[in-house]
Amino acid sequence: MATDHKTLQPLEFYKTFLDRKTRPDGRSLLEFRRMTLNAGSIGTADGSAIVKCGNTAIICGIKAELVAPERDEPQKGLIIPNVTLPSLCSSHIKSGPPGETAQAATQFIAELVNNNIIMDLETLCIKNSKWSWVLYCDLLCINLDGSLLDACVMALVAALKNLSLPVVSYDEEMDKLISNIEDKMGFHGIKQPVTSTFSLFENGILISDPTFEEEQLAAGVISITMEGTSVTHLYKPGGCTLNEKQVKKLMQQSELKTKEVVKLIEEACSPMGVEPID
């Protein structure tokens, strides 16, 4: 009978749980799902990480190349993200060209990158107007069950912190690059932003870390990106409005999650003989 109710009236079925301040998966309204992180698990990548947030799972692999910097920003390198949602990750994703969800996620990550929220792009430059690193960051979703942006940001930051590249310098007299493939380096300037997604329901109820189903049933979704206690980015694609009390509550929950995620990343990406450079 409960299954029929869920199928025929999914929102009404879900509201019976909200009225009891709980959710179908047993969590409280503001409880986040368990998160796991494994860095350096892809041997063919220059940096990698696998993240699970509940049932949502993301693999991030980074490949680096040396290129000439962009003419309008000769002192910066590039980070080029790409989020892929194959049809196997969810029954709601169709095969074919990137859909709206994948494109929106890629654009979200690109905004964080271009606003130096993820990393100081100047640290990727070797010689102004001559040489810089470009990092191709592929984020593959192997299972989609809500809070996609949270998992993508976490995986990208961890993969960047896992990055291991040959030491490269520029010789002014010879006008060429000199590299030492035996010596490896990472980068300073990698920040620790954490994205937290919440769903909003028309009756004013807020929930943390929504599943895919909860995102579909909600009146709106908001993703807050923080570094420490500072908000660095807000993403709210339409939906209902928030009052001051609700915003304050979401900030408090975001801070709690930020501390937990930063700890996970630091534990997974502890230095292993790779020397960071400025």
- pLDDT score, position 276: 46
Task: Evaluate the CA torsion angle 234, 21, 144, 228 in order and state its sign.
Answer: positive
Cα angle value 202/223/207 (rounded, 5°): 45
Cα 123 to the center of its chain, rounded Å? 21
Q: Which of 42, 65, 178, 82 lies closest to 124 in space, CA to CA?
A: 65
Whole-structure pTM value: 0.92
Q: What is the mean pLDDT of each run of 10 residues along the chain (278 residues)?
A: 58 86 93 96 94 97 94 93 96 89 97 95 90 96 97 98 89 80 80 96 90 93 95 88 90 96 91 46
User: Under DSSP, is residue 71 helix (H, G, I), strand (E, B) or coil?
Assistant: coil
Domains and CATH numbers, the chain: 15-277 (3.30.230.70)
- pLDDT score, position 137: 98
- pLDDT score, position 184: 80
- pLDDT score, position 271: 55
Q: Which of 164, 196, 193 lies closest to 269 in space, CA to CA?
A: 164
